[in-house]
């Protein structure tokens, strides 16, 4: 199967979304938790969380255009500057998936999708209690992507909450975390570790 740009443009909207969302391979499946200044919580599934840098510890994610469709996640982050990133596990994939529905602002996806809010001292945004791998974030900057109207939101890691047995030396064993991946709009995958190699230096590259 081969698609040209013209072939892709001729696809119906949903087919195009699914195909182009899948071409990068398996992506992390995360729930982003936020809260408004009136204490209305929000929870939404994202597959666009990426590593930006380690020192300082920065992560980014993409917000869809904020024109006609309200983006409560982004609005809440703009209001108070805090949010959480929570890994999704097999036990609550279905609950997590349905947070993608466009609920009214006054409806919390935590309640509607039967997931639990969890707060820690001196941190504004809600974590997902059911997740065992949680990251507390503080907003740092946003970058407008003019080609399609999306926004890259960049934040700094304030809290990292992970199971003790997932740390293996200087690494996190993501298979041990039982986190899941996502492809397209609605397909979920388990993660299996298949190998580990050393930090690469030129003089250590083997002959293939």
Would you say residue 31 lies in a domain?
Answer: yes
Q: Please give the average per-residue pLDDT across 185-202, as a whole number.
A: 90
Q: Is the distance from CB of 173 to CB of 196 less than 8 angstroms? A: no
With respect to residue 141, please indicate whether it lies within any of the assigned structural domains: yes
Does 119 or 14 have the greater pLDDT score? 119
Mean pLDDT calculated for residue range 177-203 = 90
Whether the link from the prior residue into 56 is cis, omega within 30° of 0, is: yes
pLDDT at 68 over 80: no
Containing domain of residue 167, as a range? 12-204
Assess if residue 4 is contained within a domain: no
Q: What is the largest CA-CA distance in the chain?
A: 61
pLDDT at residue number 66: 65
Give the chain's domain count.
Answer: 1
In a domain, 21, yes or no: yes
* pTM of structure: 0.92
Confidence of residue 70 (pLDDT cuts 50, 70, 90): low
Domain membership of residue 175 (yes or no) is: yes
Residue 61 has pLDDT above 90, yes or no: yes
CA angle 181, 185, 186 (to 5 degrees): 65
The pLDDT, as a whole number, for residue 24 is: 84
Q: Is residue 26 domain-resident?
A: yes
Per-residue model confidence as pLDDT tens digits over 13-53 = 888 888 888 888 899 999 999 999 999 999 999 999 999 99
Q: What is the model's pLDDT at position 188?
A: 96
Read off the CATH number of the domain in which 29 is found: 2.30.110.10
Section 97-124 average pLDDT: 96
Given this model, what pLDDT does residue 184 score?
83
Judge whether 7 lies within some domain. no
Q: How much is the mean pLDDT over the chain? A: 92
The token duo for 7 is 């072939």
In a domain? residue 3: no
């Amino acid at each position: 199967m081969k698609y040209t740009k013209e072939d892709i443009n001729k696809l119906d909207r949903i087919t195009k979304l699914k195909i182009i969302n899948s071409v990068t391979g398996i992506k992390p499946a995360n729930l982003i938790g936020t809260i408004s200044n009136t204490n209305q919580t929000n929870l939404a599934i994202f597959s666009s969380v990426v590593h930006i840098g380690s020192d300082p510890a920065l992560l980014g994610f993409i917000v869809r255009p904020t024109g006609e469709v309200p983006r409560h996640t982004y609005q809440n982050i703009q209001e108070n500057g805090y949010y959480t990133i929570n890994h999704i596990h097999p036990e609550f994939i279905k609950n997590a998936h349905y947070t993608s529905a466009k609920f009214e602002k006054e409806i919390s996806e935590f309640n509607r999708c039967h997931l639990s809010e969890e707060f820690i001292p001196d941190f504004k945004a809600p974590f997902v209690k059911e997740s065992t791998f949680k990251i507390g974030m503080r907003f740092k900057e946003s970058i407008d992507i003019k080609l399609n109207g999306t926004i890259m939101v960049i934040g700094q890691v304030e809290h990292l909450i992970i199971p003790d047995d997932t740390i293996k030396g200087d690494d996190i064993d993501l298979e041990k975390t039982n986190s899941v991946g996502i492809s397209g709009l609605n397909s979920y995958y388990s993660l299996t570790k298949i190998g580990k190699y050393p930090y690469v230096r030129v003089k250590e590259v083997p002959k293939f």
